[in-house]
Amino acid sequence: MNRTSHLALRLAVTVLAGALLCSSLVVAMAPAAWGALNAHSQVPVRLGQFSGLAQRSVIFDVNGEQIGVFQVENTQRTPVSSVPEQVIAAFLAVEDSTYFSHKGVNLRATVRALLANYQSSATRQGASTITQQVVKNEFLAGLDRDGRYKILQARYAVMLEKLVPKDQILERYLNTVFFGNNAYGLQAAAEVYFGKPVSDLSLLDGAFLAGMVQAPSSYDPIRRPDAARTRYKVVLARLVEVGLLQPDEATAACTGWETPRIRTVEDADCPIPERANSIPQQEVNRTYFTEEVRDYLLNRSDALGTTYEERFARLYRGGLRIYTTLDKRAQAAAEAAVAEQLPANATGIQAAAVVIDNATGGIRAMVGGSGFVPGRNEVNLAVRRRQTGSSIKMFILAAALHAGLLPDDVIDGTLPCTLPNPGKPEEPFEITKGVSRGTSSLRVMTALSINCAYARLSQVVGLDRTVATIYRMIDSDWTNPETFAIQPYASLATGANELSPLDMASGAQTIANEGVHLRPYMIERIDDANGEIFLHEPDAGTEVLPRDVALRAADTLKGVLDFGTARRSALEDGRPAGGKTGTQDNNTNAWFVGFTRQHSAAVWVGDPKGYTPMVNIPEFVEQDGIKRVQGAMYPARIWKAFMDPIHADLPSLDWDPAPAAVSSGLRADVSPQRIYLPGDECLARVVSGALPGETAVPTTTTTTTTTLAPDGAAPAPPVPETAPPQVVVSVVDPGTTIAPTDTNPYSPVNTVPIGQYLVYSCAKPLPAWVATTVGG
């Protein structure tokens, strides 16, 4: 065959093969082409402005330091001008090298991808430009991924580039692209993977993140480090190819980048981020306090909207800036105090604490337990109520002073005591354990926490009236009467009711504030992109106690730290402070509630899962030799351990002396009076002779009695006992206690002048040294 014939045969074969190829392509592409040609029947999405970008909300402390975030997707808007040029260059090299030259579509890459996808009848190859990726997320969400989709995507990309500048499209892309691990946008990715702001990203950081965009789950460095490292090598090779990196720079960053598909022992020399990070000083973790803020904004306030759905959307996607009352340094001091004072790994025992700023009512610190762990340890013990033990006596004292009693008035605290039980008259209330103290002043009974004295005092004042006083002193957003009630139990003084550390700190603040109650709060203001949407209105306060009453209460409670049950926890440099210890029956709850002029704080220690006796706990015995946990121990120690540093830079302030009591319609005689409880104690008026001192317990012999103060305090001073001369008395009607329905804080209480009346137990005969009775 000659040369001409050979060429003709080759030409014919080539033409035939080409015809067959074209026929097969037409047959293969016809269905998809038909759909594409009919794409006009699809109602197009009108291109308008970009929708609002969902952004996480950030929460700050009182000094403007970040303490947390609220987010569904971790989205943080950042302007493209804040992104380093070398990082942008890395993204363009990997994702769209012709971005600044094309008009929205890379035609050559698109044709190549279309042919490959038509031949496989599935979408396996993509060639979307950055503009097309933005179009996909903004305007084509929800459409079927078929031939029409690609044509619409290309069409809209061209349209978008005519409407929106390149820099704005690129900014939108960098703010919305997904990087895995709930990170949407470059700023979120910079934080999660490198713990730095986007402005601090290096070229190598940008290269790693650019490599993740193709398949964030497949190249997740935390869950799939090998695949992520391989992808990183591929990207480094690309940057070397386009001249952004020199080969030696790539080698220094990741040994083996030249052969990315081959795993080697040198992978250790190719470091990648393998754990989630956060930016230093920018906390993102959930805490007891931030969760309390969340609960308030979603469930107890309409500041963010009238419906739950509206509030949730604004909190988690609205990019709010929430400024709170928390002081990060006070919080750190409180957490450190618990960690240092409470033995580690103590079986089931935890501590909770709340610190309130007396000047505003703002919550400065909130320790809700051993540490917030989502799904496992979320109960906030700072707002959970537990029995109070003797710390409740602080409120009984306030109610008693409000009713006209004075700190130097005296009452009997002898143990054991059996008192009326208004709720169950057939079951008298008995106290058989604790510390006994003969008739002494309220000041002493408070400092030494004498149960019989205070149980009697609560009934003299009136249980219902005392409860009403407590409500007024602790009023807050956490005291919902539909879910919270304080009962007028006969055992009120020994802690039968349950209050939270927040309740207790709120009540102490009322005394520290000279009788003015400021409702505790957590949020100062909330800003969104358009400005301020919520501002806390400063609370002018409510006068719950007259100033002179509060000053007397504060002065009396200072004795607890000066010479009483918490004397070992007095603050540094003699800073004036008052407080009250509390220990529940069987040592199941231990408390200390204390205050200065500037701050009030409450500390609770116990088992959050139950009323477990804190007796002979191995860790407490081994570390501190403590066999029975009481309020003067760990709670008071923790209180001191954080109150000292919190006050380190504050002036040492004291309260003004309480004004001298003056005669009034409530109380004509301001000299010390003997307090008594009708029905439990009877009266006899002295006709002749003189009664022994009211602090003495008369007997027929001369002895000395020593009583021990509770909660580890020093022994009470000795009480001399001497036989008095004969006294002639006349038994008189003691009257009745205050009516249960009477909650008027100014209703008078049962007292008689000291020395003019004999007060004795109605269950016992008159003392033997009473020689004669008249009229009884």
Q: Answer for the pair 440, 564: CB distance below 8 angstroms, yes or no.
A: no
pLDDT greater at residue 561 or residue 346: 561
Residue 364 contacts residue 332 (beta carbons within 8 Å): no
Q: How far is CA 639 from CA 316, 390, 591, 636, 650, in A?
A: 35, 17, 10, 5, 17
Where is 20: in which H helix or E strand?
A: helix 3-37
Instruction: Indicate the pLDDT class of residue 20, thresholds 50, 70 and 90.
Output: very low
**In terms of DSSP H, where are the helices of 196-285?**
203-212, 225-242, 247-253
Q: For 489-500, b where at least 16 C-beta lie within 10 A, e where not — what string?
A: bbbbbbbbbbbb
What is the residue type of 275? R
Asked which of 406-415, 461-470, 479-488, 604-613 is least confident by mean pLDDT, the reply is: 479-488
Confidence of residue 13 (pLDDT cuts 50, 70, 90): very low
Helix and strand element counts for the chain (H, E): 21, 28
687 against 639, higher pLDDT = 639
Tell me the percentage of the chain whose pLDDT exceeds 90: 59
Highest mean pLDDT range out of 30-34, 100-104, 458-462? 458-462
Q: Give pLDDT tens digits for 586-598.
A: 999 999 999 999 9
| Percent of the chain's residues with pLDDT above 70 | 84
Residue with tokens 């020689």: 771
Check if the beta carbon of residue 202 is closer than 8 Å to that of residue 90.
no
Query: How many Cβ atoms are within 10 Å of 289's Cβ, its own excluded?
Result: 26
Cβ atoms 335, 350 nearer than 8 A? no
Question: pLDDT-derived band of residue 291, with 50, 70 and 90 as boundaries?
Answer: very high
CA separation for the pair 461, 455 (Å, rounded): 10
Please compute Rg for the chain using Cα positions.
Answer: 39
Q: Say what the pLDDT of residue 122 is.
A: 41
pLDDT confidence of residue 588: 94
What whole-number distance in Å separates Cα of residue 650 and Cα of residue 571? 13
In the structure encoding, which two tokens stand for residue 497, read together?
A: 């009711």
What separation, in Å, do the N-terminal and C-terminal C-alpha atoms of the chain show? 155
Structure tokens at 116: 């490959």
pLDDT per residue as tens digits for the range 321-331? 999 999 999 99
User: Could you tell me if 551 and 657 are in contact, meaning their C-beta atoms sit under 8 angstroms apart?
Assistant: yes
The beta-strand segments (E) located in 554-636 are 578-583, 589-595, 599-606
Alpha helical stretches, state H, 410-566: 442-448, 451-461, 463-474, 501-512, 547-562
Q: Is the pLDDT at 27 greater than 50, yes or no?
A: no
**Does the pLDDT value for residue 712 go beyond 50?**
no
Give CA–CA dist 371/356, Å, rounded: 20
Query: What residues form DSSP beta bridges with 70?
Result: 57
Closest by Cα among 755, 771, 580 to 685: 755
Provide the pLDDT for residue 262: 58
Residue keyed to tokens 């960690």: 339
pLDDT at 46 (0 to 100): 59
The reported pLDDT for the residue numbered 623 is 86
pLDDT score, position 117: 55
Confidence class for position 707, pLDDT limits 50, 70, 90? very low
pLDDT, tens digit, 9 for 90 and up, residues 107-150: 776 666 666 555 544 444 456 899 998 888 777 777 777 778 88
Check pLDDT > 50 for residue 372. Answer: yes
Q: What is the DSSP string of 129-180?
A: -HHHHHHHHHH-TTS--SHHHHHHHHHHHHHHHHHS-HHHHHHHHHHH-B-S
| pLDDT tens-digit series, residues 104-113 | 898 776 666 6
Q: What is the DSSP string of 275-331?
A: S----TTB--S--HHHHHHHHIIIII--TT-SSHHHHHHHHHHB--EEEES--HHHH
Q: What is the pLDDT of residue 123?
A: 41
Separation of CA 33 from chain center: 60
pLDDT mean over 434-440: 93
The DSSP element (H or E) to which 764 belongs, if any, is none
The sheet carrying 673-675 orders its strands as 437-441, 410-413, 673-675, 751-753
* The pair of three-digit structure tokens given for residue 507, joined into one six-digit string: 């009540």
Please state the φ and ψ torsions of residue 646, each to the nearest 5 degrees. Answer: -60, -35
Interatomic CA distance for residues 432 and 468, integer angstroms: 28
pLDDT value at 702 more than 90: no
Longest dimension (CA), the chain: 160
pLDDT value of residue 38: 45
Alpha-carbon distance of 521 to 302, in angstroms, equals 15
Bigger pLDDT: 127 or 629?
A: 629
- pTM value > 0.85: no
pLDDT tens per residue across span 48-88: 566 667 788 999 999 999 999 998 777 788 899 999 999 99
Per-residue model confidence as pLDDT tens digits over 499-551: 999 999 999 999 999 999 999 999 999 998 788 888 888 888 999 999 999 99
The pLDDT assigned to 113 comes to 62
Give the C-alpha separation, 156 to 131, whole Å: 9
At 555 the pLDDT is 97
State the average pLDDT over residues 206-223.
92
Higher-pLDDT residue of 446, 152: 446
d(CA 315, CA 321): 10
Given a cut of 50, is residue 31 above it in pLDDT? Answer: no
For residues 579 and 639, the answer to whether their CB atoms sit within 8 Å is yes
Split at pLDDT 50, 70, 90, the class of 279 is low
Confirm if 96 and 135 have CB atoms less than 8 A apart: no
- Which pLDDT value is given to residue 32? 46
Amino acid at residue number 642: F
Report the alpha-carbon distance of residue 364 to residue 440 in Å, rounded. Answer: 38
Per-residue pLDDT tens for 150-203? 888 888 889 988 888 999 999 999 988 889 888 889 998 998 999 999 999 999
> What pLDDT does residue 86 have?
95
Confirm if 721 and 438 have CB atoms less than 8 A apart.
no
Q: Is 622 exposed, middle or buried (0-12, 13-18, 19+ CB in 10 A)?
A: exposed
Tokens of 180: 């895995």
Q: Which of 1-10, 261-270, 275-284 has the lowest mean pLDDT?
A: 1-10
Q: Is the bond preceding 416 in cis, omega lying within 30 degrees of 0?
A: yes
Beta bridge partners of 178: 184
- Which CA distances in Å does 132 have to 86, 124, 153, 505, 506? 23, 17, 6, 58, 58
